[in-house]
Amino acid sequence: MKLTKLLPDSEDYCHDGKTCPALYDTDTELVLVQGAPLTHPDAAVPPHEQLVAVPKSLLRALAAQLAEL
């Protein structure tokens, strides 16, 4: 799988003093997200997980929905 980092350095998009996730395009129909583990009472995310594959179709649908808000 070929990875290509999307957007410039993520610090340009994070204004809370924390490190923002990095996004990677692939040569498949997936986008990878690299970031710190999330702790939330409604999500059982193991602390060792840092990459999440997201279907591009889901990201496109989200982008379209956000554009309508």
- In tens, the pLDDT along 4-59 reads 887 655 455 566 655 667 778 899 988 888 876 666 788 777 777 766 667 787 77
CA 51 centroid distance within chain? 8
How many independent structural domains does the chain possess?
1
| Domain boundaries, position 7 | 3-68
pLDDT recorded at residue 28: 94
Beta strand pairing call for 30-34 and 22-26 = antiparallel
For residue 32, the tally of other CB atoms under 10 A from its CB is: 20
CA distance 20 to 69: 23
